[in-house]
Amino acid sequence: MASWRLVRELLGGVDVAVEVVDVRDPISTRSVRFERMCGELGVSLVVVLNKADLIPKGVGLGWVRYFKVYEGLDAVLVSARERLGTLRFRGLVKEKVREALGGGGVGVVGVFGVPKVGKSTLINVLKGRHSATTSPYPGTPGYTRRAQLFKVRGGFYVLDTPGIIPVEEGVESIIRMNPIDKIPNPVQTAVELIKKVLQHNPKAFQTTYGIETQNPPEILKELAIKRGWIHKKDREPILHEAAKKIIKDYLDGEIKYYVKPPKQPKTQHP
């Protein structure tokens, strides 16, 4: 379940927060509200630009620069799945923990992010094979008390429970906050996603499915026909099956696209 109450409660028990975002589209998968909350609570923040394996390295480094220069946030480029950049990430977290504690004690690190950005994958990377469970969690409130801590290489603790940040609006909210089968209008949602992807990569659907057209409803129709998703009665293509497939492939990184870092900042931090 994703709720701000849980996020705030988990944040209350950590010294350093890691915000995981999808480097293919950091602006849609970050949460400025979360970043502000960290500031208010005095929790130090590291932004992880994850899934670096899916984009050109230069673009990823452009996003690191964007976050540092325009947002004043520490950011690292990582592929949790391919274990790229994870050493540098560990080093940065260690440094932040040391800063936060002023030298003494063992710090607690929490991993946060909107659904499907790779929080659990990153937690597993941090745990590695050398971690040991420590429980119960020494925090007080109900939710965090049930979370477990792992002592990891580098000498800090990691909360094993990811903090799921709610996505508040747009097509990313619909696809990340609902299981695919519960999306209210999958066809309309898939059309929105297709439009978004085509803006950044006109050849995306050709590459993934061999579909040449760039008309979103046509793409759904052709995919349904290719896969044999056809109503028996009237021979019409079953568009919602194609829509669900596209939403799933989008979330799984099967549809290739990425957003380039803007030249100007998108948000202003006070």
Ligand X SMILES: Nc1nc2c(ncn2[C@@H]2O[C@H](COP(=O)(O)OP(=O)(O)O)[C@@H](O)[C@H]2O)c(=O)[nH]1
Interface residues toward Mg ion, by CB under 5 A = 119-120
Q: Are 50 and 22 in contact (CB under 8 A)?
A: yes
Backbone phi and psi for residue 84, each to the nearest 5 degrees, phi listed first: -105, 135
Task: Look at residue 188 and give the partner it binds from Mg ion, ligand X, none, a contact being a CB closer than 5 to 8 Å depending on partner kind.
Answer: none
Task: Look at residue 219 and give the partner it binds from ligand X, Mg ion, none, a contact being a CB closer than 5 to 8 Å depending on partner kind.
Answer: none
Of 16 and 49, which has the nearer Cβ to ligand X? Answer: 49
CB of 180 to Mg ion, least distance (A): 16
Task: Look at residue 50 and give the partner it binds from Mg ion, ligand X, none, a contact being a CB closer than 5 to 8 Å depending on partner kind.
Answer: ligand X
CA distance 5 to 11: 10
Task: Look at residue 110 and give the partner it binds from Mg ion, ligand X, none, a contact being a CB closer than 5 to 8 Å depending on partner kind.
Answer: none
Q: Are 56 and 26 in contact (CB under 8 A)?
A: no
Of 80 and 190, which has the nearer Cβ to Mg ion? Answer: 80
Q: Which residue is nearest to ligand X (CB)?
A: 118
236: left (phi over 0), alpha (psi -120 to 50) or beta: beta
The residue ranges that bind ligand X (CB under 6 A) are: 50-51, 53-54, 79-81, 113, 115-121, 162, 252-253
Task: Look at residue 94 and give the partner it binds from ligand X, Mg ion, none, a contact being a CB closer than 5 to 8 Å depending on partner kind.
Answer: none
CA distance 92 to 217: 45
Of 120 and 173, which has the nearer Cβ to Mg ion? Answer: 120
Of the candidates 5, 92, 103, the residue with the CA atom closest to the CA atom of residue 45: 92
Of the candidates 196, 178, 168, the residue with the CA atom closest to the CA atom of residue 32: 168
Of 1 and 235, which has the nearer Cβ to ligand X? Answer: 1
CB of 206 to Mg ion, least distance (A): 32
CB of 194 to Mg ion, least distance (A): 26
Of 51 and 119, which has the nearer Cβ to Mg ion? Answer: 119
Q: Which residues have C-beta within 8 Å of that of residue 151, sequence separation ≥ 6?
A: 106, 131, 132, 134, 157
Of 31 and 187, which has the nearer Cβ to ligand X? Answer: 31
* Number of helical H runs and strand E runs in the chain: 12, 8
